[in-house]
Structures are given as C-alpha cells and as structure tokens.
Structure 1
Amino acid sequence: MLLLRQVDRHIGLTRAAAAALPDPRDPERIRHGLREMLAQRIYGLCCGYEDLNDHQALRGDALMQTAVGSDQTLASAPTLSRLDNRATRAQAWALHEVLAAQFIASHDRAPEELVLDIDASDVPLHGQQELGAFHAYYDAHCYLPLYVFCGRAMLACVLRSSKIDGARHAAAVIKLLVRRLRRAWPHTKFIVRADSGFCRRRLLQWCERSDVGYAIGLARNARLHAAVEYVEAAMADEYAASGAKQRLIDEFAYAAKSWSRERRVITRLEYGAQGTNPRFIVTNLEGDPVQLYDRLYCQRGEAENRIKEAQLDLFGTRASCPRFVANQLRLLLAALAYTLMVRLRQLALQASELERATAASIRCRLLKIGAATLRNTRRVRVLLASHHPLRELFASAAARLAALGP
C-alpha cells in the first residue's frame, strides 16, 4: 500500500478526483476529507478489498491510515456508502475528465498516433437496480458499460442500460474524447478500432469528417459473401489439391444500403478442414491490407484483456447500489484504481518481471505481503520480511518512486 501511496503522490490522482467532485457536507462537521475517503476506497480496491464492509476493519489499520495520510480512524462503511449514494451525472462527467487528464499527463511529449479501442461488456445484476434489464446475449439481467482504451490506459467507462443497441453512445463518446485529446495534442493522428458491433453509419461519417482513421469490423451478409465466393471456390480447389490450409487477405469496394458512398473493405479469407471462414473490416486508412488487418485490426482483442483486468482484478462489476448513477460512480472508482495500478507498473516496475503483469499478479506478489507496522508520535516504521522472494524488486520500486517526488 505504501507503493500505491507514492504513485498517487506523484501523479495526483486522488487530489484531482477530490477536486473534481463537489462536497455538499457542512465543513464544520466534516471528520473525513473527500480526498482521504477516495484514497481509502481506491487503495482498498487495488489491495483486494472490494466490499465497503471491509472498511469497518481497514479504518483502524495503521498501514491504511498511513497510506491515506492520517493517524486517526478512517471513514466507516456507512460514511463511504453515503459518498456513493450522493453521486450525480455531473460527477461522472468530472471523473471522466480526470481519466483523460491523467492519460495526457502520463506522456512526456505528444504522441504521433493513438489507437482508441471501443468495446462493451456486461455488469451482472442480482437485485432491483435502476435501469437494469435482461440481455439475451449474456442471458442475465445486467448493465452494458462502454469502455474506451488506448493501449493499457482506460479513457472512458460509461455505464449504460442493457436495453439498448450495443453501439449506443459510441460515436458521442469518441467525439468527446478526440476533442479533449486534440486540445492537448493538435497534431496527433487518431485511429478508432472496434469489432463489427460498432459499425454504425454515424460513427463512420463522423470519423471521415473529423480526419480520424478507423478500422472497424463488418458483419457478414449475403452481399459480402457474394463478393468473395469465386475466390473462396478457388481456395477450396487449392485446399483439395494440396491439403494445406489456405489464407488470403485482399480488399474491394463496398457500400451498404444505408451508406452514402462506397468504402474500402478488407477481407481475410481462410479455407481449411472446417470449410470457409471469412472476416471483413471497413477502413478509411491507406496502406497494405495485410498490415492493416494483421498488425492493426487483430490487436483489437487486447482491449478485452484490459476489460477483464478492470472488472475482475479491480472489481469493476460491483453494481450493488439501487441508483444507476451510484453504480456509475463505483465503476469509475474501479477505473481510477485501474489507472493507479497502470501507473505503478509504468513508473516503478519497468524492466522487471512484473512489467507486464496484471493487477492481480502485482497485488499478490508485491502489495499483499506480510509486514509489521510500528507507529509512535514521530514516525511509522514498516518491517518487511528479509527473505521475501521479491525483496529486491520492492526496494527498487520504492527507490524509483521516492526519486520522483510529489
């Protein structure tokens, strides 16, 4: 937890989050500051404490108090619950601005190109949560949050009812993000990448008007199959003659009925023992179709791993509040915890065995280790085991973070 505290001091994550949220409480009656409460929640998520009930014990933990910056008993579970339940849509907007600002601040200079990955996932519901609905694909009552990632960084996590089109709000979210990032980096090239569930006319047209590249999956249909059937027949003959699996990446022009013009479609065709397996993507990017498909579009699946890390390792599915906006705040707290873990990896674990580790691996191997805490009126001492397997890595990470400063 001390490593998390040092990262937070350097990047100012909880300070920025507290500054973005209004505090309607009477200042004369406040015992626990907003920044301390947010730090308590975020550090707890990073260290595996997903429930508010856990803080009934953690509020008296000397190490948690030291990390948060207090020597007194921390906020109780009911106090933290009131923080969730007074959430508003404006607060969700403000915390998304914090995510964007943290991403911008993590770069020393403007990047030449950024690829924004859009994807959706489910948050299961087990009660009477507001706007909860049954989703046939997930076969459960759930929410359908929309995520945007750039590499490992999370830029948006918008909670939505599952009773909508999966691509709903995607164009608006991308529009807002690109505008925000262009204010900081006006010359950076942006590329939007998504699966076929997000191939919507509004998103394609906005990207073309705004000089934003895209590589988005295209759902198979009869017209697309007809465009490649002769090539697939030739591949079937070649497979029958040689017995080797056939693979081809090519391109052609195509326009759906709802499109105003033809667009470039790249197809990947395969023929093997199980027959044909075509894939299609639509793009406005120039370049070799093989490179665009293999090197650009196929990397889209990495965003799904990041969603799993945010939802499973950092408990981004804890939507147990009755109010919808309160559950959006919980999702954003998990996003802030995810951001803190990403920055810990970048700032302290470069060129180490945990450089590419998930949040759960870092927690188990570096954060959740036994220690004795001694506190008096002058200082707090944390005594770690001398034979811990990652002792040298811990010392190296602590030294790197101490050198950064606040």
Structure 2
Amino acid sequence: MQTECSAGAYEFPASCGRHVLARFDGGRMSSDGGVILVKQVDDSLGFSRRFAACFRDKRHPAFVEYRVEDLVRQRIMGLALGYEDLNDHDALRHDPVMGLVSGRLSGSRANCAALAGKSTLNRLERSGQQADRYCRIIADHEALATLFVTLFMDQHERAPARIVLDV
C-alpha cells in the first residue's frame, strides 16, 4: 500500500548562524530532528545555561575543548531523545542535529569531534564535592537543589497553595 508523504520542507529558526530546514530527500541525516523543538524550550527557559552555572570548572583552560554548558546541554538533549547511556554519545557526537542543538557543529581542534564522547561526559556526571585527578568539574549540590525550586516557581505568578508530589 502506497503511503502519503509530504515532500515539503519545514523551516526552523536559524541556529549557529545556519539556516535550519527539515526535508526528506536524503543527504547527511539524523533520526532525531524533534530535538530542535526541545532546544527551543531549553533556550526559552535557559535551563542548560542555568544548570551549568551550578558547576565549578577546575580544568586547565588551555586543555578544555568542551565548556561545562556544552556538556550539560549535550547530555540533556541526549536524555530527552531517550539516549540514557553515555556510550550512545560516542555515535551522537557526530550527529549533525545533535551538533546543531548543542551549538557546536565542529570541534575547535583538528582531532576533536563537534561534541564530547562518553568519557568526557562521564567525568561531568561523576563530579564530586572536590576536584581530584580524574574529575575536575565540581557540582554545587545546594545550587542544583535551589535551581529546581527556582525553575518551578518561575512558571507561576505566585506560589501555589498546594503542591502534590506523585512519587
């Protein structure tokens, strides 16, 4: 049975100085185009930026390829797409749509991919209370807890009379 397909194109807001157009005629492809909508929500809430501000980066600046905000946004977008395992990011780091929504279409060094791999993201996720030899990005757990309350309250004109947590 023949399916009915729309051969048209869908235009999105420009990103990274590039025109973003979704079409169905091949080329370098990604199956995760819906994440562009997630990026628009993230941009409007400033979630990745605000979340990244809850970390202290103790890495030597000369050796840093991926900013904390880049790592946070990449991980959030991967999770939103259902890629919960870090090893998925070794393939996603070359995905053109992931690069687009993460704001990085290429690495700044010749031997680096546009996005971080599983090992770099692992160091972010394993961040502890103090820097050590392998983990130099430190999470401020108090700031993270405050951020989630602040994000919730930002969505309301006044504090709700009652909040139900359905666990």
TM-score of the pair, normalised by structure 1: 0.28
Residue aligned with 1:22, SS: strand
Query: Which of residues 17, 25, 43 is equivalent to 2:51?
Result: 17
Structure 1 residue runs of 4 or more that deviate by more than 6 Å after TM superposition? none
Q: Deviations over 1:326-381 (max 9, x none)?
A: xxxxxxxxxxxxxxxxxxxxxxxxxxxxxxxxxxxxxxxxxxxxxxxxxxxxxxxx
Give distance in 1, aligned partners of 2:129 and 2:95.
31
Deviation at 1:86, TM superposition (A): 2.5
Q: Percent identity?
A: 35
**Paired position in structure 1 for 2:67:** 33
Q: Which runs of 5+ in 2 are unaligned?
A: 1-34, 107-113, 131-138
Query: Which runs of structure 2 are paired with 1:183-262 in the superposition (5 Å)?
Result: none
Deviation at 1:112, TM superposition (A): 5.0
Aligned-partner residue type, residue 63 of structure 2: R
Query: Which of residues 84, 100, 110 is equivalent to 2:149?
Result: 100
**Paired position in structure 1 for 2:82:** 48
Aligned-partner residue type, residue 114 of structure 1: R
Query: Which runs of structure 2 are paired with 1:344-363 in the superposition (5 Å)?
Result: none
**Paired position in structure 2 for 1:80:** 121
Q: Deviations over 1:277-317 (max 9, x none)?
A: xxxxxxxxxxxxxxxxxxxxxxxxxx13xxxxxxxxxxxxx
- Is structure 2 residue 105 aligned with structure 1 residue 57? no
Query: Which runs of structure 2 are paired with 1:365-404 in the superposition (5 Å)?
Result: none
- Is structure 2 residue 158 aligned with structure 1 residue 110? yes
Rg comparison, structure with higher value: 1
Deviation at 1:79, TM superposition (A): 0.5
Kindly tell me the number of residue pairs found equivalent between the two proteins. 118
Please state which structure has a larger fraction of its residues in strand. Answer: 1
Superposition RMSD in Å: 1.6
Give distance in 1, aligned partners of 2:143 and 2:117.
25
Q: Which runs of 5+ in 1 are unaligned?
A: 118-148, 150-302, 305-406
Deviation at 1:104, TM superposition (A): 1.2
Deviation at 1:3, TM superposition (A): 0.6
Give distance in 1, aligned partners of 2:125 and 2:159.
36
Residue aligned with 2:162, SS: strand
State whether residues 70 and 102 of structure 2, in contact with CA within 8 Å, keep that contact through their aligned partners in structure 1: yes
Q: Deviations over 1:178-230 (max 9, x none)?
A: xxxxxxxxxxxxxxxxxxxxxxxxxxxxxxxxxxxxxxxxxxxxxxxxxxxxx
Give distance in 2, aligned partners of 1:11 and 1:52.
25
Query: Which runs of structure 2 are paired with 1:221-370 in the superposition (5 Å)?
Result: 303-304=166-167
Structure 1's 63 and 25: CA in aligned 2 closer, same or farther, altered over 3 A?
Answer: same
Please state which structure has a larger fraction of its residues in helix. Answer: 1
TM-score of the pair, normalised by structure 2: 0.66
Give distance in 2, aligned partners of 1:76 and 1:99.
27
**Paired position in structure 2 for 1:373:** none
Residue aligned with 1:25, SS: coil
Structure 1's 112 and 22: CA in aligned 2 closer, same or farther, altered over 3 A?
Answer: closer
Residue aligned with 1:110, SS: coil
Give distance in 2, aligned partners of 1:71 and 1:84.
23
Give distance in 2, aligned partners of 1:112 and 1:18.
27
